[in-house]
Structures are given as structure tokens and as C-alpha cells.
Amino acid sequence: MLHIKIKHYLFSPSWFPSIITAALLYLMLSLAFWQLDRAEYKSNLQTTIESRQNTAALDFNSIDTSGDKWLYQPVFIKGKLDGSYQLLHDNQVNNMLAGYGVFTPLKISATQAILVNRGWVATGKSRTQIPDVSITENETPILLNGLLAPAPSKGLVLSDNANDYTQWPAVLQYIDIAEIEQHIQLELLPMILILDRAEQTRFDVLPIKINMRSGKHTAYAFQWFALSLTLLIIYFVVNTKRTQHS
């Protein structure tokens, strides 16, 4: 047992609570620094999105898609929209209204395609009434402008996609590229194209949403640092006694 005496006070913690305190302190500080790292990442991501949205669009064929340099890069891309395999991303909210994100494969070769986020459409009067998302450019060569982005995050998944892909458009709870490409007979690129607002007239193109802003991560980091300090104060107060003196 450790004994440290300072004037009329004796600090003498036992080993077991000291080990528990050290473990909790390590965990809390690790979480705090992790939140700071996430805050820096989200801040850099927001800066990247804002800066690249103001740059000139590049030919998709000139983009290096092996790493992550393509993220949020404006591009123009040639292909054929395939209206046979349209996807509706369920539970998407716009101006407090429920709706769907509309995704359509753009075939860039005989076997390869990229999912195009064509925007948001409101739900029908009932869940059984699927909105009209048909396209007039079906299988017609077309040039599209948009922003390359990752597929929407699944978030907290409480259940699998309750869809057997036998009816189209397919209503999905989340967008899983690996799952989707098994049902459309096309290889999908590991990214999506968010259609440029100037290209869109039928649906609302929503701004890119970052799940949690950097400020929230910083606030969470502060909370973990505060809890760490509180734990240390409790540890020292509980294990420090005033000594008797004559």
C-alpha cells in the first residue's frame, strides 16, 4: 500500500481501487482523444467538401479511384441510366417531410455501373403507394454532372433490408452496394454520384450531410476530460485522510 504524507494529510490508497481507477482513467482519456481525432477528421472533411464543390468538374475517366482522393470531386460522366433497377432509400427526411432517396444505376460499360443519387421525393399518401421515379432517358447515352461520394452510411441497423428485389423500384432501409449488385447483374463501383442541382428538375437534390459535426465531437471530448478529472478528484479525496497531531 502506498503512503504519502504531506503536512497533516496522509494519502494511502489500496492497490485494488488504484488499479480500477487507472483502468477507468485510461479508458476515459482514450475516448476523449478519439473524439478529438474525429473532430479533426470531420473538420477536414467539411473543408474538403466545401472547397471541392467550387472546383471545375473533371472527366470521370481521369479520376484515380484506387484511394480516397476522389471523395467529393465534381465530375462529368457518360453512361446509360438503367430504369429497370431503381432503388428507393427509405426514411429520408426533407423539410420535416418523409420521403425516399432515389438511386438509379448509370451503366458506364456493358458490365459496370455507378449508382446515381437523383435526389429526394416525398412518400405517397400511403406506404403502398410508390412515387413515380421513371426516367425518359432509359438506356439512352447521357452525360451527367455530379459529385462523387461514399454510399450513404448504414447508421444503426436494427434489421436487414426487408426486400427480396423482386419488385422494382426496390424500397431499401439502407444502401449496401455489395448487396445490390447481386440483384442487378451489374458490377457497381464502390461510390455514388450525387447529381448536380443544375441537372435535376424532378427531385430535390439534398446537400451532403455529415452525420456528426466536428463541434459535437469536441464537446464529447470535453465531457470525457471532465469525467477523468472528476474521477481523479474523487480518488484523491477518498484515499486522503487528515492525520492526528499533537
Domain ranges of the chain: 4-43+213-242, 73-199
Cα 166 from Cα 109, distance rounded (Å): 24
- Tally the C-alpha atoms within 13 A of residue 220's C-alpha that lie toward its C-beta: 17
Cβ atoms 12, 1 nearer than 8 A: yes
- Between the ranges 16-30, 50-64, 119-133, 189-203, where is the mean pLDDT highest? 16-30
pLDDT band at 245 (very low <50, low <70, confident <90, very high): low
Distance CA 87, CA 231 (A): 50
| pTM, rounded to two decimals | 0.68
Question: What is the structure's pLDDT at 211?
Answer: 59
What is residue 30's predicted lDDT score, i.e. its pLDDT? Answer: 94
> pLDDT-derived band of residue 33, with 50, 70 and 90 as boundaries?
very high
Q: Pairing mode, if any, of strands 74-81 and 97-107?
A: antiparallel
